[in-house]
Structures are given as C-alpha cells and as structure tokens.
C-alpha cells in the first residue's frame, strides 16, 4: 500500500507495530483530522512498524514526548511545504501529569480529589513509570491512558 506524501503536518515513523492507535490516544488527536495510518508496515531495516501521518498538525516536542509513553523508538517529522523542517526522537518525559490514570484503584489520584495524576520515569530497571502518590509501578502504559 502506498501512502501519499503530505504537504503540511506531522509524520510519526517507527511506531511499534500495532501501537498507532495508542499513539493517537495519547496525543489526543481528534479523529476528525485527515490522517493516514499504516499498521504493520515493512521497515527497511527489517521487521514491522506503524506509521502515522496527520495533516495540518505540527506537534510540539512536549506533545511528541507523549508518544514515547507507548512507543519509545518513534521519530517525529514535521512537514511544511512538502519537506521535513524538523525531525526529533520521542524522548520519554521525566514526569507525566494528567495523561495517565494510576492502576491502583485505591490511589488518592483515583478518588475524585481535585488533584492531577502524576508519574515519574524510573530508569533503574528498564523504562517505567511510578505513581507519585502511591508509588505503584505502572505496567502497561497504553492501558493507563486517560479516556
Ligand atoms: Zn497511584
């Protein structure tokens, strides 16, 4: 399947296979946007990847960092006038506020209190996020995205 180039917008490449829809959720991109989604595309380097092309949206680095929550190896390309004007890697943010919900039902951040959920990156053992309120390790971040 060939996908048309876009003139203006954001191309997110090297998304883990099958994670494109989680990337859209974590970004909060409206599904009324014009976009192309490639699932399990064959990568030139071997293996498979997903690719997202979102028209007329230029992601900021802060927004792009959210992509790393569900797909750490992704690259973000900002396209203007049909060419790449900026390219950066999705860097996992040190702190994530408000985007995820804690997996612990008894956590104070799940008690309808006027507080924003907060998680910090722990790199002692791989790459994972720990709740700042109850210290619970969040296992599957894609499932923790606030709806
Ligand atoms: Zn918690």
The answer, yes or no, to whether residue 2 has pLDDT greater than 60, is no
Q: Give the distance (Å) from ligand 1 centre to CA of residue 118.
A: 8
User: Residue 3's pLDDT is what?
Assistant: 59
The answer, yes or no, to whether residue 124 has pLDDT greater than 90, is no
Q: Give the distance (Å) from ligand 1 centre to CA of residue 26.
A: 19
**Annotated domain spans of the chain:** 9-89, 95-144
Q: Give the distance (Å) from ligand 1 centre to CA of residue 37.
A: 33
CA distance 26 to 80: 23
The residues placing their C-beta within 5 Å of ligand 1, an ion, are 102, 104, 107, 131, 133-134
Looking at domain 9-89, its CATH architecture is: 2-Layer Sandwich (3.30)
CATH class of 95-144: mainly beta
């Amino acid at each position: 399947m060939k996908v048309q180039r876009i003139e203006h917008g954001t191309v997110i490449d090297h998304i883990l296979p099958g994670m494109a829809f989680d990337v859209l959720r974590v970004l909060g991109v409206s599904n009324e946007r014009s976009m192309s989604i490639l699932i399990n595309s064959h990568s030139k380097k071997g293996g498979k990847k997903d690719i997202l092309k979102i028209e007329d949206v230029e992601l900021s680095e802060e927004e792009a960092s959210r992509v790393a929550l569900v797909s750490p190896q992704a690259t973000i390309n900002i396209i203007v006038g049909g060419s790449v004007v900026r390219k950066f890697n999705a860097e996992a943010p040190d702190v994530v506020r408000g985007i995820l919900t804690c997996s612990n039902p008894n956590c104070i951040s799940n008690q309808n209190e006027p507080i924003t959920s907060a998680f910090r990156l722990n790199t002692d053992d791989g790459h994972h996020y720990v709740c700042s309120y109850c210290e619970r390790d969040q296992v599957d971040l894609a499932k923790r995205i606030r709806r």
